[in-house]
Structure 1
Amino acid sequence: MSLYLGIDAGTQSIKAELIDVESGRIVESCAVNFGAELPQYGAPNGFCPHPDPTVRQADPLMWLDALDRVLEKLRDAGAPLDRVAGISGSGQQHGSVCLNAEFPRLLAALDPARPLAGQLAPALSRPLAPIWMDRSTHAECEELDARFGERLRLDTGSPAIERFTGPQLRKFAKEQPAAYAATASVHLVSSFLASVLAGKPSPIDYGDGAGMNLLNLKSLQWDAEIAEFTAPGLTGKLPAAAPSDTVAGGLSPYFEKYGFRAGTPVAVFSGDNPNSLVGTGATEPGVAVISLGTSDTFFAAMADFKTDPAGCGHVFGNPAGGFMSLICFANGSLAREQVKEECGADWNFFDRTACETTLPGNHGKLMLPYFEPENTPLVLTPGVKYNFNPNDATPAERIRAVLESQALSMRLHSRWQQANFKRIRVTGGASKSPAFRQILADVFEAPIESIRVANSAALGAALRAANAVGGIPFPELYRKFCAATETVAPIPANARIYAGRLPVFRQFEAASRR
């Protein structure tokens, strides 16, 4: 039995999937929710509350405590961790962890009798880490765009983006120069946790590194000119950039207490979206993925490297080689949960009944659910907008309005990819909603496929470990773990309704930004 472990450190929880690649079986799954199980960090939604809605930060020590706890859960569940052949992982993209020169020494001297957080706390040169929800760097983005113009988008895959690591580090260096000077290395959430497991600093893989505005995707090296303008000496603070099948090192002896064998190969971690591309079996062009999590993302493997002229879409590294496109909509499940609460509905009503009692097109009712600052299109000031009076609408109509509007927004802003997807796979919590799957099929005029494991980022990490360490080809892994379990076909009459609604939605969105 060849076992591989995938770990996903997301926005609100850390999850683990242990797989047996011979049988195609999930051996064990477990999770630690930050808000519910680590309340001492005061982050009920995975980030520290802040009066400025554009500031979203989290405590890296919370991720370390959660890592200890999720491995403890695996051990206590009786998972045969001594038989794990390889480990890899996933981290929420764009979160940056700034560390001082003590980090390598502390990693090498981890004491299994003490928790990770207390031992590595002295290595933090910045106590809190900005995460992907942070939008507080608009001034820094304008500075980067003014200096590099179109080159930033054409070479790094994206224009300057508020949540990306480069602008975040520019702000850090400007506002806290002493703390920045004390920073010896800058890691992403992914490479930080890979470093902890490997007991030494890990490279940053191309998939996650592309979400920094610092990696030149033409050379796959850090762009020294952009990095040095971003922050002085930054090039020397960045770990090496490496392919996604790189082995970062052997598992630290610290983790023997959970039942692992020290020295078990640890493949470099990647971002949650590149891992989900693998976990849904979509690393070849022709299949798109919609991930319905805290944020909604639309992504796909790219046949050719190209960037979004509008600057909303991004290009990241594909862990299987080449590139992937991605569009992120910040108001995903958080917006759906807010509408559900406002309507006083339970999930059964939200996921099924609401759309059974309303008609496709919803009598023209649309909304822009910007409960949080939005990425696509860029909206820094939260504010929900309707083209109808919500007080006069039924709960079912309000629920259909948010689902249809989110689907139309995805379709509108994915057009730059110029690809006719043969099928679209859905993953994440809201992918369980039959009503939303049907709306997506009708809006995109494409079959929507569900897969067995909703935890695609953690599964993708485990599959990447099997590929990098065990040399198992991705197509073989996909046949065992990523086959479609259910397909929803588009209904032609509904598709015609939504095709007519798309230009109306585009005008509504454009008018709201004036």
Structure 2
Amino acid sequence: MAETTSDTIGPVFLGLDLSTQQLKGVLIGADKCIIREINIPFDERFPHYKTVNGRHTNEDQVTAPVLMWVEAIDALMSEVSKTGLAGQIRGISGAAQQHGSVYWQEQGVDQLKCLDSKRSLKEQLDEVCAFALLDSPIWEDSSTDVQCQELEEAVDGASNLAKITGSVAYERFTGPQIAKVKETQPDVWQNIVRISLVSSFIASVLCGSIVPIDAGDASGTNLYDIQKKEWSTTLCGSIDQDLISLLGAEVVMANEKVGLLSPYFVERYGFTECSVVAFTGDNLSAFAGFESLLDSSQPSFAVISLGTSDTVLFSLTEYPYANDTGPLSAMQHLSGHVLQHPTAPDRYIAMLCYKNGSLARDWVREMFVGQNSTWEHFSDLVTNSVLMAPQRYGFYYLLAEILPKAVGVYRFESAEDGDIFTLSGKRFQRVKMFSDGSDARAILESQTLSMRLDLLHKSDVLPTSVALTGGASKNKALQHTIADVLNVPVLAVCSQSSGDCASGNFEVETPAMPAYGGAIRALQHWKSNEVNDSSDLGDEGKAYTLQQVCTPNNEMHALYLESLESFEFLREQVSRSSQRINYGEQAIIESIKKTTDSDG
């Protein structure tokens, strides 16, 4: 990419993503092209916090140092300044890891308003003890089982909690985390004057004052009434009568302006006093970024992120847990989440999370393709093997899975004398190994059939197209399996500089979509609400588009459709029979690596 300076480009927009392991920044022009990407990896840049992958772990308690995030913000803004483009930036927005929370003391709120541009953020916030908790609970924390039960009891059960908030109680959600802080650290609690989510925390630092939480991230707390679009007085009151005040009664959409960039950054790094648009959760921001690449609005569009874990995001036009509406199966299948759409008040997003993504696929590749094999070898094996479904199924849960709740490796084959009877009378038996080593195809079919099944539990209308992102999105065999099982064209991110997209002669890109989505929202706000100048928009960046990479095979889809009933039955059997292991997940991985016939 050519060197870009302020002389060769017009207005610039900054998107940020404060993820678990790093703070990412993306600079785009007014034509949506990416000009520059900047990463601040936490472990590498700030070893004095002694984090591993950006966090501290103590058994089931997982936290991250707030001051590390503060240092990262200064570091990234310094890097932006070095590009020479800080003065061109006309808007900032972004994202952060969902479900984390930050606890402000009064002196921290006051200090934000009068920061000295000659001194670092960390120095000033640390010396006044800005935060009641120096280590914030984050999404990986699973130490709040008691508080989850209390939240469900406050509204007479898990189903009522899901109707109100879009999810049953989850240990990693912010509501249980807040309740735990109050119950276990009363001395800390009495000093808290405001609570931010990680997304609103970073926006607050940028603005120099506490800004509202956005509705999308609020719906990942177990405290937000999605249908009423406000904090639930019952749920918040069950924790503390002043909790709504601590969270901030105002909740905004993720495309709304929440303030202007603080004078601290203007004076220290040469920025303009530009608008800051609300930050939201990373998955939601990524989804909004993908939507911006579509030619037209597609309410049934879905995004599948294929990484260490897999995540499916699917836009909904109706709230599935509303009384007398939505799919009939929704209230019988409350796993997964329903969140407020980040930018469309009348829409929602179903979010399905699967822990066993690329980790499990990589284990199968090493075990059954070869330790020195490549993903090309894996794809070739899948392509040259016959379908497993509807005769054979494999389930691969190296980690304790979320959907379904299960752990272990399970294989089933149809058999005339099988002792497992499905509801339609088909007979299966459990086997130790597949005779022809077809686990590579089996895991792709299993993971994708789970996605189709769980999507049907949230909506009667399946996606009409699917966009892939994440490291595994380049895998051809996985692309085709998703297309065939979901019966949709599969799209991937392509850049104009990466070849002839239409002919398929290109490399699939994996940009930082949460940060890109933030930059897009900042750009859209600027175009809609602020006076545009006549500056040259420039053409120095990398333009991303969504391009079709494969289409479904109708014959294969018919077989997968026929398989869904048996697959659902066997998956339920696996969930019921699976033994939940009481030792760490790494031990689960090691135990499964020793044998391919583990019940967990």
The TM-score bracket by the shorter chain reads 0.7 to 0.9
Residue number in structure 2 paired with 1:197: 206
Offset at residue 434 of structure 1 (A): 2.0
Q: Matched residues in 1 for 2:108 and 2:481: separation?
A: 48
Contact 1:361–1:497 at 8 Å: present in 2 too?
Answer: no
Structure 1 contact 81–258 (Cα < 8 Å) conserved = no
Structure 1 unpaired stretches of 5+:
474-479
Equivalent in the alignment of 1:476: none
8 Å Cα contact 1:5/1:87 also seen in 2: yes
Alignment partner of 1:315 out of 321, 324, 338: 338
CA distance in 2, matches of 1:201, 1:182: 16
| 1:29 aligned residue | 37
Q: Tell me how far 1:294 sits from its aligned partner.
A: 4.4
Maintained 8 Å contact 1:293/1:332: yes
Query: Which residue number corresponds to residue 95 of structure 2?
Result: 90
Aligned residue in 1 for 2:573: 511
Distance 2:373 2:36 in 1: 29
Q: Which aligned pairs between 1:139-150 and structure 2 lie closer than 5 A? A: 139-148=146-155, 149=157, 150=159
What is the aligned partner in structure 1 of residue 474 from structure 2? 432
Whole-Å Cα distance in 2 between the matches of residues 36 and 339 of structure 1?
31
Work out whether residues 84 and 260 of structure 1, in 8 Å CA contact, stay in contact via their aligned partners in 2.
no
In the TM superposition, 1:155-304 aligns within 5 A as: 155-239=164-248, 240-256=250-266, 259-281=269-291, 284-304=298-318
Q: What is residue 456 of structure 1 aligned with on the other side?
A: 513
The one-letter amino acid paired with 2:220 is G
How far apart in 2 are the matches of 1:258 and 1:378? Answer: 50
- Please say if 1:80 is aligned against 2:88: no
Q: Which has the higher helix share?
A: 1
**For 1:367-402, what per-residue CA distance to the aligned partner results, in whole angstroms no more than 9, with x for missing partners?**
23242x4332346xxx43332799967998544444
Find the aligned partners of 2:567 and 2:119 in 1 and give their Cα distance.
Answer: 55
In structure 1, distance between residues paired with 2:561 and 2:335: 22
What corresponds to 2:448 in structure 1?
Answer: 407
Instruction: Please tell me whether the aligned partners of residues 33 and 544 of structure 2 are also in contact (alpha carbons under 8 angstroms).
Output: no
Say yes or no: does 1:361 pair with 2:402.
no
- What's the CA shift string for 1:92-111, capped at 9, x where partnerless? 11111122122212212333
Indicate whether 1:490 and 2:496 are aligned. Answer: no
Length-normalised TM-score, structure 1: 0.88
Structure 1 residue identity aligned to 2:153: A
Give the one of 104, 107, 114 matched to 1:102.
107
After superposition, give the CA deviation of every residue in 1:116-153 in whole Å (9 maximum; x if it has no partner).
33433422212222222222222222222122034322
Whole-angstrom CA distance in 2 between matches of 1:235 and 1:481: 42
Deviation at 1:357, TM superposition (A): 5.1
Matched, 1:45 2:107: no
1:328 offset after TM fit, Å? 2.0
Change (3 A) 1:270 1:291: same
| TM superposition shift of 1:329 | 2.1
Q: Which residue of 1 aligns with 2:352?
A: 327
Pairing partner for 2:76 from 70, 73, 80: 70
Shift of 1:315: 2.2
**Alignment match, 2:401:** 374
Question: Are 2:77 and 2:269, in contact at CA under 8 Å, matched by a contact in 1?
Answer: no
Q: Structure 1 residue 155: deviation in Å?
A: 2.1
Q: Are 1:351 and 1:434, in contact at CA under 8 Å, matched by a contact in 2?
A: no
Seen in structure 2, the aligned counterparts of structure 1 residues 435 and 246 have a Cα distance that, compared at 3 Å, is same
Percent of counterpart pairs with the same letter? 32
Instruction: Name the aligned partner's letter for residue 445 of structure 1.
Output: N
Matching residue of 2:584: none
Distance 1:411 1:222, change over 3 A: same
TM-score normalised to the size of structure 2?
0.76
Instruction: Give the residue type in structure 2 aligned to 1:288.
Output: A
What is the Cα deviation at residue 485 of structure 1?
2.4
> By how many angstroms is 1:291 displaced?
1.9
| Partner residue in 2 for 1:127 | 134
Offset of residue 259 of structure 1: 4.0
> Deviation of residue 408 (structure 1)?
2.0
Give 1:237 shift: 0.8
* Aligned residue-pair number: 500
The alpha-carbon deviation at position 339 of structure 1 amounts to 5.3
For the structure 1 residues 3 and 396, does the alpha-carbon distance in structure 2 shift closer, same or farther, using more than 3 Å as the test?
farther
Structure-2 separation of matches of 1:188 and 1:33: 21
CA contact (8 A) 1:366 1:505 kept: no
* 1:211 partner SS: coil
Distance in 1 (alpha carbons) for counterparts of 2:365 and 2:206: 39
- The structure having more radius of gyration, on CA atoms, is 2
1:208 CA drift (Å)? 0.8
Aligned to 1:236, the other structure's residue is in SS state helix
User: SS in structure 2 opposite 1:129?
Assistant: strand
Q: Which amino acid aligns with 1:471?
A: S
Unmatched runs of 5 consecutive residues or more in structure 2: 1-9, 322-329, 413-429, 495-508, 531-541, 577-600
Q: Are the structure 2 counterparts of residues 352 and 223 from structure 1 closer, same or farther at C-alpha, using a change threshold of 3 Å?
A: same
Alpha-carbon separation, structure 1, partners of 2:74 and 2:282: 20
Judge conservation of contact 1:133–1:330 (CA < 8 Å) in 2: no
- Is residue 384 of structure 1 aligned with residue 408 of structure 2? yes
Shift of the 165–468 alpha-carbon distance from structure 1 to 2, 3 Å rule, reads same
Q: Could you tell me how far apart the structure 1 residues matched to 2:90 and 2:210 are?
A: 21
Residue 386 of structure 2 corresponds to residue 344 of structure 1 = no
d(CA) in 1 for partners of 2:526, 2:575: 49
Paired residue secondary structure (1:490) = coil
CA shift for structure 1 position 115 = 3.7
C-alpha distance in 1 between matches for 2:77 and 2:374:
30
Does the CA-based 8 Å contact 2:13-2:522 persist in structure 1? yes
Q: Give me the CA root mean square deviation.
A: 3.0
CA contact (8 A) 1:6 1:88 kept: yes
Could you say what secondary structure the match of 1:11 adopts?
A: coil
Shift of the 449–42 alpha-carbon distance from structure 1 to 2, 3 Å rule, reads same
Shift of 1:280: 0.7
- Once the two structures are TM-superposed, the CA of residue 302 in structure 1 deviates from its matched residue by 1.7
